[in-house]
Amino acid sequence: MKLKDLDIIVTAPPAPGWGGRYWILVKVTTDNGITGWGECYASSVGPNAMRAVIEDVFDRHMAGENPENIELMFRRAYSSGFTQRPDLTVMGAFSGLEIACWDILGKARNRPVWALLGGKMNDRIRAYTYLYPLPHHGLDAFWTSPVLAAEAALDCVDRGYTAVKFDPAGPYTMRGGHMPGMRDISLSVDFCKAIREAVADRADLLFGTHGQFTTAGAIRLGQALEPYAPLWFEEPIPPDAVEEMAKVARAVRIPIATGERLTTKAEFAPILRSGAATILQPALGRAGGIWEMKKVAAMAEVYNAQMAPHLYAGPVEWAANIHLAASIPNLLMCETIETPFHDQLIKGSIRVERGFISPPEGPGLGIDVDEDLARAHPYTGDSLHLQMQEAPCDYERGNNFEGGAPAPRD
C-alpha cells in the first residue's frame, strides 16, 4: 500500500463562522483505493500559498511511501531544507497529511485510530466549549457583556457541559505583549463573577487570553481573577517567551495552559521543563500530527501535566483530537465547537452528548466526510484563517474585540 493521490479542499463555514474563516481539508488516496482525511490548521500564509506548501510536502516527503511509515515521513519533513527544527508552515502541512495517514491505516485494518495508538484509555472524553452568543443575543453587545456571557454559560451547563471558556480581556494585538487596561481587568473580573454566580460549582471557568500580555500585565490580571478559581489561565503571554511564562505560573494561583500555537515536541518540551504550564493544548492539525502529540502526552506524564487538545478549526481536526484523547492517561478535556456546519460536514458521525464525547468505533477516524458539502462552500476571501489586530490596546474607550475571525454579519 502506497500513498498516491492528494486533493485539497478549502471550505468556508457559513455564518456565524465559528471555527475560523476557512478550513483546509486534505484527502489522500492510496494505490489500492483507500482514502484518508486530514485537516491542516490555521496556516500563517494564505490558503493558495498553503495549498502549494501542502502539495510540496506531500510530493517531496510522502508520495509513494507506505502510510505506516509515519515516523520516517515526519523526519523527512522536520529535516527538510537542512533544518531539523520546528517550522510552523511545513509542520502545519505535514500534520494534516499525517492525520490522513492514520485514517488510511485504520480503514485498512478495520479498526479505529485509537486502537492503533495503544487502545482506549478513556471511554468518555470531557468536552468544553467557548461561550458563543445565543440566538437572541446581539453580536456586537455579547463580547463585552457579563450578563449575556452568564446566560450563555448557563445554557451550556444545562446542556451538560462542565467547563466553559471565554476571553473578554482583548485585544489580540500584533504589537506583542501589552499591559491590560484597568477597564479590561475590571471587565474580566465581572465576567468571572457573573459566570460563577450563574453556574455555581457545576462548571469550571476557563479564561483565555491568546498570549496578549506582558509578564507583569499577565500577573496583574491573573491575580485579579484568582478569587473565582478558574481551572486555567490560557497562554497569558506570547508563547515563545517560555521563561517569562514560567514567571507568570509562579506568581498566579491559577494553572497555566498553553500550546495552540506550538509545533512538535521541540517546542512543548521547554514548557514542561521550565514549569511554564501544566496543561498542554496542542492543535493536532498544526503541532505535528497525532503520533507527535502522542509523544508529547507521554512527556507530559513525566511532569504530571495534562493534555487538553485545542480546536478552532473544522471537525476533521476535532476527530483527530478525539482519537488522541481516547488513548492517553493524562487527558483533561477536549475543546469542541457545535455548529450545524461542523455536524453536517461529518454527517453527525461524532457528537457531544451531555457534555461528553464517546470515541468513535468505526474504522480510521470514524467520520463520514460530506465532500460535496465541503466543495459547495469554497473560501473566496483573501484574509487568513485568523488575524491579529494592528491597532494597540485602547486605554481610553476600552476594547470590544471578537478575536481573530469576527463572525460574518450574514
Q: What is the mean pLDDT of residues 319-340?
A: 98
Pick the range with the lowest mean pLDDT from 172-186, 192-206, 216-230. Answer: 172-186
Per-residue confidence (pLDDT) for residue 315, from 0 to 100? 98
Q: What is the pLDDT of residues 92-114, one digit of tens each?
A: 999 999 999 999 999 999 999 99
pLDDT band at 368; cut points 50, 70, 90? very high
64 occurs within a structural domain: no
Q: What is the mean pLDDT of residues 222-235?
A: 98
Between CA 209 and CA 401 the distance in angstroms is 12
186 occurs within a structural domain: yes
Cβ atoms of residues 95 and 288 within 8 Å: yes
Between CA 24 and CA 39 the distance in angstroms is 6
222 occurs within a structural domain: yes
Q: What is the mean pLDDT of residues 239-246?
A: 95
pLDDT at residue 269 tops 90: yes
Q: Strand 352-353 to strand 356-357: parallel, antiparallel, or no bridges (unpaired)?
A: antiparallel
Between CA 271 and CA 289 the distance in angstroms is 19
Cβ atoms of residues 90 and 287 within 8 Å: no
In 3-state terms, what secondary structure has residue 234? strand
| Buried/exposed 312-334: b ≥16 CB within 10 Å, e otherwise | bbbbbbbbbbbbbbbbbebbbbb
Residue 6: how many CB atoms within 10 A of its CB? 18
End-to-end CA distance of the chain: 46
Taking CA atoms, 28 is separated from 38, 63, 181, 234, in Å, by 8, 10, 48, 34
Residue 48: how many CB atoms within 10 A of its CB? 10
Angle between helices 315-327 and 88-109 (to 10 degrees): 70
108 occurs within a structural domain: no
Taking CA atoms, 49 is separated from 92, 176, 263, 404, in Å, by 13, 25, 20, 20
Taking CA atoms, 213 is separated from 108, 241, 247, 402, in Å, by 47, 11, 13, 17
Taking CA atoms, 142 is separated from 131, 182, 206, 377, 401, in Å, by 10, 20, 17, 27, 10
Q: What is the pLDDT of residues 18-61, one digit of tens each?
A: 999 999 999 999 999 999 999 999 779 999 999 999 999 999 99
Per-residue confidence (pLDDT) for residue 408, from 0 to 100? 67
Would you say the C-alpha torsion 210, 215, 218, 223 has a positive or negative sign? positive
173 vs 123, which has greater pLDDT? 123
In the beta sheet, which residues pair with residue 192?
Answer: none
282 occurs within a structural domain: yes
* % helix, strand, coil for the chain, step of 5: 40, 15, 45
| Buried/exposed 182-208: b ≥16 CB within 10 Å, e otherwise | ebbbebbbbbbebbbebbeeebbbbbb
Residue 82 contacts by C-beta under 8 Å, 6 or more apart in sequence?
none
Burial degree of 389 (CB within 10 A; 0-12, 13-18, 19+) = middle
24 occurs within a structural domain: no
Per-residue confidence (pLDDT) for residue 163, from 0 to 100? 98
Residue 372 contacts by C-beta under 8 Å, 6 or more apart in sequence?
none
Per-residue confidence (pLDDT) for residue 370, from 0 to 100? 98
Cβ atoms of residues 52 and 39 within 8 Å: no
241 occurs within a structural domain: yes
CA 337, 340, 342 angle in degrees (round to 5)? Answer: 50
Establish whether the linkage from the previous residue to 282 is cis, with ω within 30° of 0. Answer: no
Of the candidates 85, 84, 199, which has an alpha carbon nearest to the alpha carbon of residue 150?
Answer: 199
pLDDT band at 410; cut points 50, 70, 90? low
Per-residue confidence (pLDDT) for residue 404, from 0 to 100? 66
Output the average pLDDT for the chain: 96
47 occurs within a structural domain: no
Burial degree of 97 (CB within 10 A; 0-12, 13-18, 19+) = buried
Would you say the C-alpha torsion 61, 62, 64, 68 has a positive or negative sign? positive
Q: CATH number of the domain that 247 lies in?
A: 3.20.20.120
Please count the structural domains in the chain: 1
pLDDT at residue 116 tops 90: yes
pLDDT band at 139; cut points 50, 70, 90? confident
Taking CA atoms, 97 is separated from 35, 262, 317, 358, in Å, by 12, 18, 11, 24
Domain enclosing residue 355, as ranges:
116-363
In the beta sheet, which residues pair with residue 207?
Answer: 166, 233
